[in-house]
Amino acid sequence: MPEDELGNGYEYLIKKFADDSGHTAQEFYTNRTLVHLMAQMLEPQPGESIYDPTCGTGGMLISCLAEVKRRGGDIRTTGLYGQELITITAAIARMNLVIHGVDDFHIASGNTLAAPAFVQGDRLRTFDVVLANPPYSIKKWNRGAWEQDAWGRNFLGTPPQGRADYAFFQHILSSMDPQTGRCAILFPHGVLFRNEEAEMRRRLVASDRVECVLGLGPGLFYNSPMEACVVICRSRKPAERQGRILFIDAVAEIARERAQSFLRPEHQARVLSAYHAFADDPGFAAVADVADVLAADGNLSIARYVKRPKAAAVAGGTTLAATWAAFDEDGRDFWSGMDALVDMLDGLTPVEDADA
């Protein structure tokens, strides 16, 4: 359709704006191939409501609508909702949706944590599908207000001042329809194992909302080499998945061209196949019982559950590849712990009181 081509050109300009302005493009744009994978995993349906609480320029909402269309659904009955802190970015999102031919959308500007825009009476409005790429570990937010949150979003607890990741996480969980709600959230790996959020994570795991934890390869964000993960939750998991969590280590499922990383269709297909199978796939996927995760103090670190295969030894000794594989395997938990330590020390940096 013509609006799709115009929309593609518009998204290219958004990326160029982020690159040229010196911003981390994550503020404006999430890698389209990754968003496409997230949309496929959530399978948005005609007539459902789709929400992004930190919507940037609207790319995740558009990708969900495209997924409905790709599956032969009627997009006219699908409602799109988003909130964005930066007013001009929210305006760009509205224009982006119009250019893509979308009619039914509601994009609000404002602080999602301090003043959620979509409410019904004294409760948050809930949605069938939530996708989000929240700002990572922000330090300037109103932690005091969260302790007495008027919307009851602090049901897991109050995150540390130095990182608001679990505030966004709880907002998203509270915004999911109690029956049909599911979400896919892009997070830094630290949310899976940081000590300072351990109690909230234990409560989250015990609630049996976490369905899948997906580890991604490096460089999927413009201007950033960082690795990230996608956490998929459901308000009500299918009976056969209740009490279990799927871990996928897709760090190698990545391509890189012209200094940019992306997921090829075959990478997306492998992740989707593992997600649908919900079964052990040695070196790639593992299913863990919620009870076992809780016994590990709620640690959701992917390396703890998905063990990479060690290279076979050759006659007369061990190959260099085998030695390296063993070192890599043994070091994964160590470096995860180091990341958590650095995060904790970084969180000790004095911060000014936030206004929002």
Report domain extents, the chain: 2-307
What gap in Å lies between CA 37 and CA 40, rounded to an integer? 5
Model pLDDT, residue 319: 62
Copy the structure tokens of residue 252: 């190698």
Model pLDDT, residue 352: 43
Residue 320: burial class (beta carbons within 10 Å; 0-12, 13-18, 19+): exposed
Architecture of the domain delimited by 2-307: 3-Layer(aba) Sandwich (3.40)
The residue type of 45 is Q
Q: Which pLDDT tens digits describe the chain residue by residue (356 residues)? A: 434 555 556 556 666 655 555 444 444 456 889 999 999 999 999 999 999 999 988 989 999 999 999 999 988 889 999 999 999 889 989 988 988 888 889 999 999 999 999 999 889 999 999 999 998 888 899 999 999 999 999 999 999 998 999 999 999 999 999 999 999 999 988 999 999 999 999 999 999 999 999 999 887 765 567 788 999 999 999 999 999 999 999 999 999 887 678 899 999 999 999 999 999 999 999 999 999 999 999 999 999 999 987 654 445 556 665 555 555 555 555 555 555 565 556 555 544 444 44
Model pLDDT, residue 1: 40
What gap in Å lies between CA 99 and CA 80, rounded to an integer? 15
Is 218 in a helix, a strand, or coil?
coil
Model pLDDT, residue 313: 45
- Beta strands (DSSP E) in the chain are 49-52, 79-84, 105-109, 119-120, 123-124, 129-132, 182-187, 210-216, 229-234, 244-250, 255-257, 260-262, 285-289
∠ CA 213-11-186, nearest 5°, is: 15
Copy the structure tokens of residue 142: 């109103």
